[in-house]
Structure 1
Amino acid sequence: MIKWIISDMDGTLLDDCGNLPHDFDEIIMELKKRNIIFSPASGRQHDALVHQFSKYKDDWLFIAENGTMVSKGDKLLSSSSLPAELTDSLIAAATSLPGVYTVVCTCQGSYIVDKYQPFIDEMAKYYTRHQLIDDFSQITDPIIKISVCDCDNNKAIHTAYNQLEKYKADVQVVMASAVWVDIMPQNINKGIAIQKIQSMLDIKPEECMAFGDFYNDCEMLKAVGESYAMDNAVDEVKSIAKYIAPSNNQHGVTKTIKTYLQNTYKGDA
């Protein structure tokens, strides 16, 4: 029996216009009746996830910033930060790249130094709490993630990833989308965050279901027994997943969950 369902957001739970499935609240009510936990797992900022799903804040586990921050309600369950001795050089490397823009993330919020409006507009999709500062050296809290945005070309693999992957011996450099590259601590990702919570809550991998579409979802799908790649997922994710779900524009997450509930609780009104 499934006890925990985890879903990526963009390209997975949300359609290409950023909308939730029309039957989402109905499905969540059914999961709650069955005591099945639901979690969004995203590269998005924690505050952005909680803001979007404020009515579920006290019920859900939120896996934010690609696993570097996990919370339930107002309680922080786990967080991971980049090595303090590397942050200056990593920020310097990110900000030196031409034509891209940098967000530095902490558990308390996120920081930017650029006022470029297309960047601000792109960032607003994922970061509801951010602060414009003069210099990233003003940040005093531990840094959990550095994100680099190519809002003009949508080719971050060429403008940022290829230049930053030389740091992979010390940190993770991950393509979060065609627009975003994330720099995160070693040994943390959505999958490791899920494994930590599985241990904390005594939930077995085979009691978990997860949905994803992009490279930063691979470890998450490996951490669960019932793994679904969206039909629109990249090939690497499809090769890892146990099943293929309908695309995000066909609301494949809720369709799959509804089918599971119908098959598992037949005749149970």
Structure 2
Amino acid sequence: MLLTPGLAAFDMDGTLLNKDSQMTEVTKEACRQLREQGCKLVLSTGRTYGSAQIPIDSFPFDGYVCSNGATLYEADGTLVQRISLPKDIVMDMLDKLRAEPIYYELHDTASSRLMVKEDRDRLEKLIEEDISVEGMLMRRFAFYKLARIVPLAEMVEKVNSGESEIVKIFIWHSNPEKLEWVRQELEPWSTRATITSSGSNNIEVIPQGVSKWEGLRYFCDKWDVEPEKVMAFGDAENDREALTGAGYSVAMENASEEIKQLAKYIAPHHNEDGVATFIREHIIGK
């Protein structure tokens, strides 16, 4: 029996995109056919809205849940909801992260990926390691092409004045042991912020109570789609709530066993057009 979702939500990295961070033509065509059946299409990602646009190459989604649900956008890019991290948490975490050679970005509602100028040299050294490390090429692209480098004093002013509303702190390191140290250091703030991850080499800090699923509920209400008619695709810890809440939960073959156990269905590997294959076999029937 074919499945009949009213809304399909797609995580990007490790799910909708291949290893080269591309949305293939095969995947685009499957999504077009899915839309033709009346299903709404939503990107559900840890990325900012701006960086989410790069790999999809103008493919028209009906809505965007970005920064793990901290920002929501309509199809035309209009920001309709945002939830920011408390300023004191941002400043305290920034001080903690600057004490060690850790790659970090502060993401705001304007899709800026902010870095402190005084940390630029050591952050650059971290991304000049072995390119085989997960996320290394993406980190280099973000550092050289997307990051906005600002002096520390300016960063502090932007955050404290509210000019930059920080919705996520992104942390990356090639050494998992170093990330575990970071988690332990950030633990004191875990009651006021959510500490999650979109991959084995990163940590993402978002406002307390924010998740991709909570963001998707906005679009469910807008389009009158019941949770049991939502299909959520994902592969990582930050997809946990969406996979738990959606009636049709789909984990990728490349996901961890823990994430797979949350899902009702398993799609093929993200680098083998897994999303497209699942759509064709379980929804479109081709």
TM category (shorter chain) comes to: 0.7 to 0.9
Q: How many residues align?
A: 261
**Corresponding residue for 1:33?**
36
Task: Report the counterpart of residue 203 of structure 1 in structure 2.
Answer: 225
The alpha-carbon distance between structure 1 residues 51 and 226, as it changes in their structure 2 partners (threshold 3 A), is: same
| Residue-by-residue CA offset, 1:133-153 (whole Å, 9 max, x unaligned) | 011303232211111121x43
Shift in alpha-carbon separation, 1:162–1:259, aligned structure 2, 3 A: same
State the partner residue of 1:165: 187
d(CA) in 2 for partners of 1:168, 1:250: 36
**Correspondence list, 1:11-26, <5 A:** 11-26=14-29
- CA drift of 1:107 comes to 0.8
Which residue number corresponds to residue 62 of structure 2? 60
What do residues 112-148 of structure 1 show as CA deviations (whole Å, max 9, x unaligned)?
1232335496435568643100113032322111111
Of the three residues 150, 156, 168, the one matched with 1:137 is 156
Q: TM-score, normalised by structure 2?
A: 0.83
Give the TM-score normalised by the residue count of structure 1.
Answer: 0.88
Residue identity over aligned pairs, in percent, reads 23
**Structure 2: stretches of 5+ with no match in the other structure:** 129-136
Q: For residues 80-124 of structure 1, give each alpha carbon's deviation from its aligned partner in whole angstroms, at most 9, with x where no partner exists.
A: 10123332112222322x221221111112211232335496435
Q: Which residue of 1 aligns with 2:10?
A: 7
1:205-242 CA distance string (max 9 Å, x none): 12111111111110111121000111111122111111
Separation of aligned partners in 2, 1:61 and 1:17:
24
Which of residues 126, 148, 158 is equivalent to 2:171?
148
The answer (yes or no) to whether the contact 2:243–2:263 under 8 Å persists in 1 is yes
Quick one: distance in 2 between partners of 1:122 and 1:21?
A: 17
Tell me how far apart the structure 1 counterparts of residues 79 and 203 of structure 2 sit (CA, whole Å): 25
Query: What is the SS of the residue equivalent to 1:18?
Result: coil
**1:193 counterpart (208, 215, 230):** 215
Paired AA for residue 137 in structure 1:
V
Contact 1:155 1:178 in 2 (8 A): no
Between the two structures, name the one with larger relative contact order (CA 8 Å, sep ≥ 6). 2
Pairing 1:104–2:106 present: yes
Distance 2:109 2:48 in 1: 9
Contact 2:22 2:56 in 1 (8 A): no
Q: Is the 8 A contact 1:144 1:184 kept in 2?
A: yes
List aligned pairs for 1:224-239, cutoff 5 A.
Answer: 224-239=246-261
CA distance 1:184–1:16, change in 2 (3 Å) = same
- Distance in 2 separating the partners of 1:262 and 1:201: 21
Q: What letter matches 1:178 in structure 2?
A: S
Identify the structure with the greater helix proportion. Answer: 2
Cα 1:49–1:14 shift into 2, 3 Å = same
Q: Distance in 2 between matches of 1:107 and 1:21?
A: 28
Could you tell which deviates more after superposition, 114-123 or 217-226?
114-123
CA distance in 2, matches of 1:34, 1:19: 24
Tell me how far apart the structure 2 counterparts of residues 90 and 157 of structure 1 sit (CA, whole Å). Answer: 14
Whole-angstrom CA distance in 1 between matches of 2:62 and 2:54: 13
